[in-house]
Amino acid sequence: MSQTIREGRPDAAPRGVAPAPHTPLRGLSRRGFLRVACGLGLAALATPVTGALARPSASQSTLDALADAQAQLDAAQAELDRLGDEYEQLAAQLSETMGKIEDVNGQIADTEAEIEKKERELEEKKELLAARVNANYKAGDTNFLEVLMASSSFEELTSNIYYMNKVTQADVALIDEVTTAKRALDNTKAQLEAQKAQLEDLKASQASDLEAMQAKQVETQNMLASLSSEVQGLMAQRDAEIMASAKAEQEERERAEAARAASASQAASASAALAGSGGSASGKGAAIVAACGRVPSPGAGYCAMWVSQVYQAAGCGYPGGNAVDQYYSFCTSSNRSAIQPGMLVAVPSHPHTAAGRIYGHVGIYVGGGMVMDNIGYIRTINLDSWISYYQSGGVTARWGFA
C-alpha cells in the first residue's frame, strides 16, 4: 500500500503502567555501546521541534469578511463623496435659478410701474380730449365759421383750417402712442410672468432633486456608520484571533520543547539501560537505534513513514508501506526474548483513532525495554506500556527487522 496514506495519531500511553524490567542484552561490546549511546543522546538533543511554526494569523473566514466589509466601506465612502459633489452642483444650480427669479421679479416690478405711468398718461390724454370735444359741443359748430370770418384771404383760411385739423390729429396720435406703449408693456409683463412661471417650475424641480439628494446622503451616511462599526468589529475579531493563534503556537512550541526534552531524557535512559545490560546489539540494530535520534517527525499520522526514514538514515533500505503493511511483511514474532534493538514493533489495528483502526501503528524498539515512535513528535515509551495500549483492541503486537 502507498506510503502517502496517513496513519492515525495515537493518544499518549495510559498513565500508571509500571516500566518493564531491563532485559539483558547479550554480546554488546563497549565500542558498540558507545556508538548507540552517542547516537541516541546527541541526536535526540539535536532533533528539531516539529518544524517551523506558522506566523500567527486570524482565520481565513474572518480575513475574508473583513476584506469584504472594508471594500463595502470604501465603496460607500466613494458613493457619499459622489453624492456630495452632485449635491454641491444642484445647490449651485438652485441658487442660480433663484437669482434669475429675483431678477425677473425686478423686471416685472419695473414693467408694472411703467404700465401704471402709461395708464395715467392715457387717462390724462383721454380726459383732455374729452374736455375739448365737450367744449366744442357746448359752443356749437362755430369754430369753422369763426375761422372763415377771421381769415383775410383764401390762403390764410386754408392755413387756419390746416392747423385746426392738426391739433385734433395730434391729440388722437398722442392717445394712440400711449395706448401702443401700454400694449407693449402689457406684452412684456406677460412674457416676464411666463418666464417667472418657468423659473418657479425649475426651482421646484431643483428643490425636489436637492431633497432627494439629501435623503441619499443620509442613507449613505447611515450605511457608512454601520459598515464602519462592522469593520471595527471584524478588526477586533481578527486581532483576537491573531492573539489566540499566537498563544496556541506558543503553547505548541512549549509542548514540543518539552517533548523534545523528554525524548532526549528517555533516549539517555535507554542508552544507560543498554550500557548496564551488558547485552548485544547487531551492527544493523545499533545503526537503526542511532538513526532514531536523528530523524525528526514527518508529521502527525506518519508513523510508518518515520520508521522508513529511520531505516533509510541507518543505511538499511526504505521499508515503505504503512503500519499494517510493515506488520504483515516484517513483524513475525511476539516472543519477548527474541526482540532486539532496531526491530519494528507494530500492531495491524488499534481502537484509539479512526485511521488506527485501518492502518495500525508502528515504532522501533531501541533496547532497554523502550520503544520510540512518531505521534506528531518523536517520543520514547516503555515497551510494556506501548503493547498494553495498542493491544487493547484484541490484536497481538509483533516485531522483527525490516
pLDDT in tens, 126-136: 777 667 656 66
- Is 268 part of a structural domain of the chain? no
Most confident range (mean pLDDT) of 26-35, 325-334, 385-394 is 325-334
Q: Which amino acid is at 115?
A: I
| Average model confidence (pLDDT) across the chain | 77
Supply the pLDDT for residue 332.
93
Whether 234 and 368 map to the same domain: the answer is: no
Rounded Cα–Cα distance for residues 46 and 260 (Å): 9
Whether 86 and 189 map to the same domain: the answer is: yes
Whether 295 and 232 map to the same domain: the answer is: no
Closest CA to 256 of 297, 305, 210, 304: 297
Whether 218 and 105 map to the same domain: the answer is: yes
Which one-letter DSSP state was computed for residue 21? P
Whether 226 and 83 map to the same domain: the answer is: yes
pLDDT in tens, 107-157: 989 988 888 887 888 788 777 766 765 666 555 555 656 665 666 666 666
- Residue 183 is part of a domain; what is its CATH number? 1.10.287.950
Whether 306 and 235 map to the same domain: the answer is: no
- Residue 315 is part of a domain; what is its CATH number? 3.90.1720.10
Supply the pLDDT for residue 388.
94
Whether 97 and 34 map to the same domain: the answer is: no
Which one-letter DSSP state was computed for residue 322? -
Supply the pLDDT for residue 165.
64
Using the predicted structure, report yes or no on whether residue 15 has a pLDDT greater than 60.
no
Whether 327 and 206 map to the same domain: the answer is: no
Closest CA to 324 of 353, 371, 356: 356
Supply the pLDDT for residue 366.
96
The residue among 196, 218, 242 that closes a domain is 242
The residue among 224, 242, 260 that closes a domain is 242
pLDDT in tens, 273-282: 554 443 345 7
Whether 108 and 131 map to the same domain: the answer is: yes
Q: Which of 3-12, 68-77, 293-302, 318-327 is predicted with the least confidence, judged by mean pLDDT?
A: 3-12
**Is there a contact between 220 and 80 (Cβ–Cβ < 8 Å)?**
yes
Domain extent, residue 309, equals 30-52+278-400
- Is 255 part of a structural domain of the chain? no
Q: State the total domains in the chain.
A: 2
Rounded Cα–Cα distance for residues 72 and 217 (Å): 16
The residue among 242, 259, 289 that closes a domain is 242
Q: How confident is the model over 41-70, as a mean pLDDT?
A: 64
Question: Helices 154-277 and 30-46 meet at what angle, rounded to 10?
Answer: 160
pLDDT in tens, 186-226: 898 899 889 889 989 988 998 898 888 888 888 888 888 88
Rounded Cα–Cα distance for residues 94 and 88 (Å): 10
- Is 83 part of a structural domain of the chain? yes
- Is 180 part of a structural domain of the chain? yes
Whether 96 and 194 map to the same domain: the answer is: yes
Whether 90 and 226 map to the same domain: the answer is: yes
Name the helix (H) or strand (E) containing 344.
strand 344-347
Model pTM score: 0.37
- Is 252 part of a structural domain of the chain? no
| Main-chain dihedrals φ then ψ at residue 384, nearest 5 degrees | -60, -40
- Name the residue with higher pLDDT: 17 or 76: 76
Whether 41 and 162 map to the same domain: the answer is: no
